Amino acid sequence: MRYNLPKILLFSGAVFCALNPAFSQSILGFDAAGAQKEVALEKRFDQQLKAENLRAHMKRMSAHPHHVGSPFDRENAEYARDLLKSYGFEARIDTSYVLFPTPKTRVVELVEPTKFKASLSEPILKEDATSGQTKEQLPTYHAFSADGDVTAELVFVNYGIPEDYEALKKMGIDVKGKIVLAKYGNSWRGIKPKVASENGAIGCIIYSDPKEDGFFQGDVYPKGAFKSDAGAQRGSVLDMPMYPGDPLTPGYGATKNAKRLARTEAPTIMKIPVLPISYGDALPLLKALGGQVAPAAWRGALPLTYHVGPGPAKVHLKLEFNWDVQPAYNVIATIKGSEYPDEWVIRGNHHDGWVYGANDPLSGAVAVLEEARALGELMKTGWKPKRTIVYALWDAEEPGLLGSTEWVEERQQELKDKAVVYFNSDSNARGFLYAGGSHTLEKFLNQVARDVTDPQRNVSVADRLRAKVLVDGSPKAKQEARSRSDLRIGALGSGSDYTPFIQHLGIASMNIGFGGEDDGGEYHSIYDSYDHYTRFKDTDFSYGVALAETMGRCVLRMADAQILPFEFQNFANTVQQYAAEVKQNVESMRTQSEDHNRLLRDNQYQLAADPKEPFTQPEPMDEVPFLNFAPLDNALASLDKSATEYSQALQKSGQLPVGNVEKLNEVLYKSERYLTHPEGLPRRSWFQHQIYAPGFYTGYGVKTLPMIREAIEQKNWTEAQQGIERVSEALTQFAAQVDKATLLMK
């Protein structure tokens, strides 16, 4: 998988005191002397990093397809393990056994009004050296699609998200018993067949429209980086917003002999057949559609008038899969902590790819390897981390975070006790730093970004990002970039291996990478190759090195800090913003409902409608009640007070507590656990974090204060009120932990 698209506009404020060298040496978690030593250590770390190593690893690891269950997947795992061992880590492979479907039969054909059979293939290109290894490549498909053989009229459903079905309803169109054709974009792909199925569709085809992913964006491969008319996007459609990981072992490790659900009982496997196709294959289907012209916002860049259907296009979709259990090889390497061996700083990236995976995931994985080598070099000079460092290269991320999730589930109690933090990366490219994660780490990350130099512009990566926000940000982001001392980081939804750590266990996490100046349409295709990466992405691996410098600092500071560098004022400020948003949502919905019902009562919709177009009188909207936000406001006020007191106590102490440091640090890193609830979110108990979750109807996209926000969106007012109370309790408990830490500082 990959990171969500660059989060630069979330990361939106910074006034660094770059001109004050004294301040620039201040590091959260270290006293003055400790910080000086740390700066010197980090300098030595940086000196070890070599771009050519990243290049060599990528070339080696992308030489053959390395999806789950392939021989080269295992070879890569062993290669990484052996490298890590050679760097001085204790390294091993932890194996899980996960369901991983691969296709046996794939047919998409237009059967009426004309005949056309989709090619479903990606051509060999002389400019792309590995593209010809057709026998080793997994074909284009959606992992965890249902088996199926269906023939039905086609309906074009835009992105296939819930609001598109609302629009279809207004147009008088029902997809029941139909096959839907959806565009990639605007949601994680797995949402599209899920919503299609909820609406009664019997099959789903997803294509990449050249508007979002093809010639509209730029010249196509191999002339340029973008998707050609034969490119199709593989990917998982496992219902990860319910729970990620092996669908047969929900909530526990997929060990060899674990008790497994029957496949038919597994709720996260898609209920209908679904397949990705290229825009070349989509064109004849779209051309064959009749019915109403699609709304303007639905139309893509293909040279035709987009119609919605249903029919006269009729499509036959036939899919059969091998439903095999395959080994997932997680490479785990550790350096034991010298003072606190039972405090773990974990850093990971997956290693499996859909095909060659040069960008996704190797661009991040090779940074992991080079960081590890640099740590090894530091160890040779006598340095030892205070805390245990765990480096992980996950397998089976692509089909649904299977490797990391099963590994986490298998050892959840140990992780709850010992994991201080989890740092994740995935794909990495040229451009701007993006970072998302626990806001208790926002200040920490800002200091790291202050101390890493951008390879192209020779200012800190923080300053370069701030420049981008000041020049291209929204008015609000620009304003904040001038007035707020820290850049904002995004919140985490899902889409990479941080999910089991933060969402399931409440381990503070951070996802980091660079991007925004790379081009591409190679995502999850055979063209995500070494050739493509070295032409269009981080061509000289300088941002791979920048990622290693960034992550290296994260790991080193967290492993050696005197007081763990969690900070709570930014967190409190962020949650206040989320609370303001959900309140605003309720108010907007109330106004919208009142306006709508008034227009309906006065028959204005009908008067305004074109009598020559189909018209359906809309339904009246329910009145929006007033919710009691007082518990949340009280919890936020108390959190704010606690956060301020902790900062003051920390400042007073000069970052050296007089009390029990070990106890203090434990309180600090376990504080995030108090933001979880054992019952999790409604109807998806695996997701226990009460502040961040992937949206049930957005997929990767985060919903903050998810229980409150999604209940409001779904107009479930009772649940929204319960959510307010649950979140308020969590925040109150969390604030109590912050108070505990403050007391321990004194």
CB of 609 to its own copies, least distance (A): 8
Report angle CA 396, 401, 402 to the nearest 5 degrees.
55
Give the tokens for residue 739. Answer: 């108070």
Report helix, strand or coil for 260: coil
Tell me whether residue 116 or residue 605 sits nearer to its own copies (CB atom). Answer: 605
Structure tokens at 132: 């010809």
**Residue 112 vs 212, nearer CB to its own copies:** 212
Phi, psi angles (nearest 5°) of residue 372: -60, -40
Distances (CA, A) of 423 to 135, 369, 514: 36, 14, 14
Q: How far is the CB of 471 from its own copies (least distance, A)?
A: 4
Note the residue count of the chain: 746
C-alpha closest to that of 530 among 538, 74, 140, 516: 538
Give residue 377's Cα distance to chain centre.
Answer: 32
Number of H helices, E strands in the chain: 23, 16
For the bound state, the minimum distance from the C-beta of residue 297 to its own copies, rounded and expressed in Å, comes to: 12
Q: Minimum distance between the CB of residue 414 and its own copies, rounded to whole angstroms? A: 44
* Closest approach of its own copies to the CB of residue 223, in Å: 9
Place of tokens 């995502």: 523
Q: How far is the CB of 412 from its own copies (least distance, A)?
A: 43
**Which pair of tokens denotes residue 419?**
């994991």
Measured from the CB atom, the residue of 60 and 478 that comes closer to its own copies is 478
| Burial (0-12, 13-18, 19+ Cβ within 10 Å), 621 | middle
CB closer to its own copies out of 521 and 706: 521
Q: Which string of DSSP letters, residue by residue, matches 87-143?
A: TT-EEEEEEEEEEEEEEEEEEEEEEESS-EE--------TTSGGGG-TTTSPPS-EE
DSSP H or E segment with residue 78? helix 71-86
Q: Report the nearest approach of its own copies to the CB of residue 436 (Å).
A: 21
Residues β-bridged to residue 236 = 143
Strand 203-207 with 179-183, pairing? parallel
Residue 105 or 305: which CB sits closer to its own copies?
305
Instruction: Give whichever of 229 and 339 is closer to its own copies, judged by the CB atom.
Output: 229
DSSP secondary structure letters along 157-183: -TT--HHHHHHHHHTT---TTPEEEEE
Q: Which is nearer to its own copies, 459 or 743 (CB)?
A: 459
Q: How far is the CB of 514 from its own copies (least distance, A)?
A: 13
Taking the C-alpha atoms of residue 18 and residue 24, their distance in angstroms, rounded to an integer, is 6
Residues in Cβ contact with 383 at an 8 Å cutoff, skipping those fewer than 6 apart: 41
Per-position DSSP letters for 276-288, written without gaps between them: EE-HHHHHHHHHT
Nearer to its own copies, 127 or 149 (CB): 127
Give the residue with the Cβ less far from its own copies, 471 or 658. Answer: 471
Element (H, E) at 706: helix 706-713
What's the CA gap between 513 and 491, in Å, rounded? 14
Half-sphere exposure of 204 (CA within 13 A, CB side): 33
R_g of the chain, CA atoms, integer Å: 26
CB-wise, 52 or 472, nearer to its own copies?
472
Interface ranges with its own copies (CB under 8 A):
210, 215-220, 224, 226, 293, 299, 301-305, 431, 456-457, 459, 463-464, 466-468, 470-472, 478, 517, 595, 599, 603-608, 610-612
Least separation in angstroms between CB 326 and its own copies: 40
Closer of 215 and 329 to its own copies (Cβ): 215
Distance of CA 611 to the CA centre of its chain: 45
**39, 46, 87, 44: which is closest to 557 by C-alpha?**
39
How far apart are CB 154 and its own copies at their closest, in Å?
A: 18
Q: What is the nearest approach in angstroms of its own copies to the Cβ of residue 355?
A: 25
Strand locations in 312-369 (E): 314-335, 340-350
Contact indicator for 315, 205 with CB cutoff of 8 Å? yes
Considering the complex, state which of residue 219 and residue 581 has its C-beta at the smaller distance from its own copies: 219
CB of 158 to its own copies, least distance (A): 15
Q: Closest CB to its own copies among 258 and 301?
A: 301
Residue type at 284?
Answer: P
Least gap, CB of 586 to its own copies (angstroms): 18
Q: Count the alpha carbons within 13 Å of 649 in the hemisphere toward its beta carbon.
A: 23
Amino acid at position 428, single letter: N
Nearer to its own copies, 292 or 716 (CB): 292
Report how far residue 514's alpha carbon sits from residue 188's, in angstroms, rounded to the nearest whole number.
21
Nearer to its own copies, 133 or 479 (CB): 479
Write down the least CB distance from residue 302 to its own copies, Å. 7
> In angstroms, what is the minimal distance from the CB of 583 to its own copies?
19
Query: Can you tell me the distance from the alpha carbon of 286 to that of 605, in angstroms, rounded to the nearest whole number?
Result: 30
